Each structure stands twice: as structure tokens, then as C-alpha cells.
Structure 1
């Protein structure tokens, strides 16, 4: 078949290819497509000169406009900081009583604090701040070191059982594992502690065990938890007479705590968050425990 053969219907030349009697036409690219390709190539070439494009070892071509996503984001961040400065400065400098009294500011704190909490604290305490097994509930107003925003700020700043020189330190000794108490003493004192929140546990069958545990408590546990077992916020010792538990309040769990001890941990945030962010979080967490009508 001749290469220059023309199709009798369209009048176009063929390419010389034939398949099952069908001959391929040598159809040119449509003019519109060619124009589109030319325009897009010219636009791409022009764009290389207008905006940053080509890497040059340790740098890159800056472009005639000198605008890129990095500078755009930096400008927006700077603008956001300027807009926030009016209230972040107040957070950094004003006393908590003044901040708590300003309801307009507290609305901002609640929005900002919620985001900060979700980004930094929710992994342990939950999105609703109600904690879980081994992590305290921050909404019940039951605190180990006090629930005022100034004390919460300190805990956020230095952490608990961290390497920070001012870290809060709290530990429940392993009375059973370290053989400070024998097996019966561990079970007796656990029964006494359990009875403080479960009065119906005291029966004729358990009263002797509870009384024996009370004696163990008086000689072993009162230095931290107090004679009345209501704890000591100065040293982070919890109140054992209420219904709030971090590690669980069942008899078996209390036995495990007395036997093996407990040593919680909370990271320090003074190098991860700004002063304004820490104080906003302190106000937000404090606000979670405030009961409103």
C-alpha cells in the first residue's frame, strides 16, 4: 500500500497502516489543542521566572515576585500573633483573679484552651478531660496538689516525677513487694480503705479484718493520707474517703496498689508551650471543675 494514498471519503492521506481492511488516517492534531499546549508551555516558562522555582545547591531561584508559600505562611502567623497579643499579654502578666473575673477573656480562654488541651493533654486525659484508668479526671474538682489555676500552672510547668529540678514528686511505696507489710497486713489495710467508701462492706464477718487494717493504716499510712484518710494536697496524697480513684477503687485494685505501689508521671510543659499557653491551659482546666447553675 502506498504511503501517500488518500482516503476516498475524507480525502486525507493514510499513514500506511492497515488492520483488517481498516486504514489509519494521518489526522493532524486539532488546532485548538496545539494552541492550548503552546500557551501552557509559555505560561510555565514565564512562571519559572516569576516565582521561586529552580534549586541551586543550597539555595533556589527567588523569582521576580519573591513570593512563596513559606513567606505567606510566616506572614499569616505573624499577623495572627499580632491579633492575639492583646489577650496573650494579659495572660502572661495579670493575676488569675483578674483574668477569671473577665468573662469576655474567659470565653477566649475556653476556645483556645480546648484546642491546646486536645493537642497536648487529650492523649492521656481524654478529649472530655474525664481521664480513665491510671489517668485522673480533671472535671471533678478532686485534686492531688490543689485545683487553683496557680497550682495547676505549676503542675503543667514542672510536671510530676520528671527530671525538672522543681518537679512535683509523688509516689506510693510498694509495701508488699518491698516487704514493709506482710500479706495479711496488705489485705487488712486494703479492706479498711475499701470500707471507707463502701460502708456496707463492714459486716460481722469482715469487722475484725477492717479493725486490723485500721491499725495498720494508723502506723503506716497516716503520714501521707492523714489520720482521717482525707489526704494531703501538699504532698499529692489522695483523699481515700471519697468516690474518686485514679487506679480504681475495687478491693482487688486497692490490694494491688498497697502491694506494688504507684508512681504516676506527667511531663513538663515549660519548654514545649509558651507562658501564655500554659496559663491558658491552667485556666481552662480549672474552669472544667467549676460547677455552674
Structure 2
């Protein structure tokens, strides 16, 4: 309910909820006051199948009592718990609070298990089978949805099992990325590059940087126009990890390969977000997870001869 952008919807929910409860109470009160006239046949006048008559008997008292208990319970519930629009309830209970409480309890129970890993460096931890088994489970639960169960990613989601890193592949950088998250933005650059034909020429020049199939004439024409891109990707197209600008010379394509894909990127730009895991995972869990991710593209210290 806190997501409502107008107080109208909060009042609307309150009106519907209380209206239903008090409407039931009113209906119960009205029916209890209705008396059967003496001497009448005590029927409603409705007859089915020629001889099946509906009688006008009052509700049993136990049934009336259940109605009253339900009404009283619903009002007490709405005072204690959220249910009336944006009102939080006297107990301040919420699904988020319940979730966070359960996570905090689980993390406290797991603290002794993670304590043995916190003092170890990433390179050492990557060679610990127990730590890597836990790290793999953390990865499956929190990262595999985007990067895949094999960590090789897909279009728009980086491959974590190779040596290509947008922001750096050191243990510190991996931990920083997991903790704080990342927002990668490629602004639309078509206006800075020039005409649509200039954009296509730049696309062929970019393809030529990695030795990919390209039109050499267009690539030569696009070289000068690449100056608009060099501010981020560098004059040689090797990227800049400080700002997450990809290396365009390694033949690794995050958002698709080929002339059309590059033209679309230059024309429309792209914004990607890696969500922060800080607050969701403990510092010890992030340490183990970062070690697991690091191990996917590095040789663990214990495995060295």
C-alpha cells in the first residue's frame, strides 16, 4: 500500500473493506429484527419442483454467533495488522519485515560456518572445496538468473568465466561489483558521429579492431569518426575499466555482434544494471561468492604446482 501515488486509493481500500464488514453487520441486524407474522404459513412463497417450499426460519443462534465473532475478529485484525489502505497496523507487521527477520535469523545461525572463511584471501579460498561448494550455491541462488548456471552469461549479461572484465577482474573489483552493483550506460552517439552512413562506417571500423569480417573501405572512412567513441573506449578501442567501457578489440560482444548490432548500439545507446547485493548478503557471504566468481577465470592458489 505504500506504493500508492495518491491518498485516494488508500481511502478507497478503507471504504471497501470497512463497508463490507459493516454491511454484513447491518444485514445481520436487519434479518434478526424481521419477525414472522402469527398465523402465516412461515414460507417465503418460493416453490420449486411443484412441492419444494422454502421456509422462512430464522438463522440458528450458533450461526449468528459465528457471524458476530467473524465481524469482531476482522475489526481487531485490521487494528493490529495492515489492511486498511496505507495504515500499517499497531503491530507494524509486514511481509518485508518478516522476510528480513527470517534472513537475519538464518544468517546468525550460519555465522560459525562462514567464520572459517573470512580470514582467508580470495586466492586461498578459491582452492577450498567446501568454500567453493557454498559459493556455487550462493551463485545459483543470486546470480545464475542473469549470468546462467555455468556463469557464461548471455546477450546483455557478461560471461564471468572468461578473462574479459568490464570493471576489472581482481578480487577487490569483483567484491566491489557484487557489493555495490553497477550501472553501465552507453549514451546514444549517432548525433556525435554524424550521418547514418557515418554510423555504419564506424560500425565497420569497430569490427576491424577485433579482426571481424568488415568492409575495409567503410572501416577506413569510419576511423576518423571513431573519435567520438574514443573518449570512453580509448583511441585504440581497448576500453576503460575505470568507467566500464568495453574493449572493442577482443572480439567479445556483450550486446550482439555484426554491423546491425553495432549500429543499433551507437544509435540507441544502452543502459544495463547489476543490482547491489549489499544488505541482501552478509559481508562473509559476499567474500565467499566473490572468491567463487574469481575462481571461474583464475587458477586457485592451492592448485598451483
The normalised TM-score by structure 1 is 0.62
**Stretch of structure 1 that moved more, 137-146 or 283-292:** 283-292
Going by fraction, where is helix more abundant, 1 or 2? 2
SS at match of 1:263: strand
Q: Which has the larger radius of gyration?
A: 1
- Distance in 1 separating the partners of 2:199 and 2:136: 42
SS at match of 2:182: coil
Q: Do structure 1's residue 87 and structure 2's residue 95 form an aligned pair? A: no
- Distance in 1 separating the partners of 2:139 and 2:126: 20
Count of equivalent residues: 201
Question: Cα 1:103–1:116, aligned 2, differ >3 Å: closer, same or farther?
Answer: closer
SS at match of 1:230: coil
Q: Which residue does the alignment assign to 1:153?
A: 175
The structure 2 residue matched to 1:252, chosen from 230, 236, 260, is 260
Unmatched segments (≥5 aa) in structure 1: 1-56, 59-72, 162-169
Deviation (angstroms), 1:79: 9.2
Question: Cα 1:112–1:195, aligned 2, differ >3 Å: closer, same or farther?
Answer: same
Question: Cα 1:216–1:233, aligned 2, differ >3 Å: closer, same or farther?
Answer: same
- Distance in 2 separating the partners of 1:196 and 1:115: 38
Q: Which residue does the alignment assign to 1:191?
A: 204
1:146-225, aligned counterparts within 5 Å?
A: 146-161=168-183, 170-176=184-190, 181-198=194-211, 200-201=213-214, 206-217=215-226, 219-225=227-233
SS at match of 1:264: strand
- Distance in 2 separating the partners of 1:189 and 1:103: 42
**Preserved contact between residue 166 and residue 245 of structure 2 (Cα < 8 Å):** yes
Deviation (angstroms), 1:239: 0.6
Q: Which residue does the alignment assign to 1:139?
A: 161
Q: 1:53-72: CA deviations, max 9, x gaps?
A: xxxx99xxxxxxxxxxxxxx
Question: Cα 1:267–1:86, aligned 2, differ >3 Å: closer, same or farther?
Answer: closer
Q: Which residue does the alignment assign to 2:8?
A: none
Q: Which residue does the alignment assign to 1:277?
A: 285
- Distance in 2 separating the partners of 1:287 and 1:155: 16
Q: Do structure 1's residue 237 and structure 2's residue 245 form an aligned pair? A: yes
